[in-house]
Structure 1
């Protein structure tokens, strides 16, 4: 009798685990987006600032800011999509939320804010 109950318990566990699938997120924003700004600090010195957003499929990501080759700042972010508009939130920081949408251009896919300024380009 114990073997029958054990067998039924194993079958119940297998059936219950098959019912709880995580839906797949195929949002087109998933991937690496970056922005590079070059600032001329003098005639001979150029300062390169690179910002990078890495979006993953569980509505989270990582933001990193490089000053030249030095990692200046990094934090995690969360994102949501509502009718083609993405809101990027940086909890635990004083950074304001970025509200952007994807646009296609001759340069590639871009993230633009509501005023049309480019936040990042897909890598």
Structure 2
């Protein structure tokens, strides 16, 4: 009888738990920071930044040496393990996957390149 109760409890426990919607795993700030320095010149820095909000909206901006060069808003959606980003202006749409790489959580583009790291 005890075994039957334990089995029923295990079945109820496992079937009553549903998988959470992991759309929120992309919510937050993702960035690609890079810098270059050429002989005899000052270091140049650039940053591409995506901010994903839980309301399926977001902002994208590019900065160079701390100065804003470009900014736009976007909407995003999820289908399977892919996130579709549709920019309102000035940039081609993107498709990303979240990937764990060398201890970092990254956004990978359709070609398998790392586009950004969770900030």
Q: TM-score range by the shorter chain?
A: 0.7 to 0.9
For residue 45 of structure 1, report the CA deviation from its aligned partner.
Answer: 2.1
For the 8 Å contact 1:88–1:99, the answer to whether it is kept is: yes
TM-score, normalized by length of structure 1? 0.73
Aligned mates of 1:61, 1:114 — CA distance in 2 = 19
Counterpart for residue 33 of structure 1: 30
Instruction: Give the root-mean-square deviation of aligned CA atoms.
Output: 1.8
Aligned to 2:81: 84
Q: 1:43, 1:86 → 2: CA distance?
A: 42
Larger radius of gyration: 1
How many residues align structurally? 99
Q: TM-score, normalised by structure 2?
A: 0.75
Gaps of 5+ in 2: 1-20
2:50 paired residue among 53, 59, 66: 53
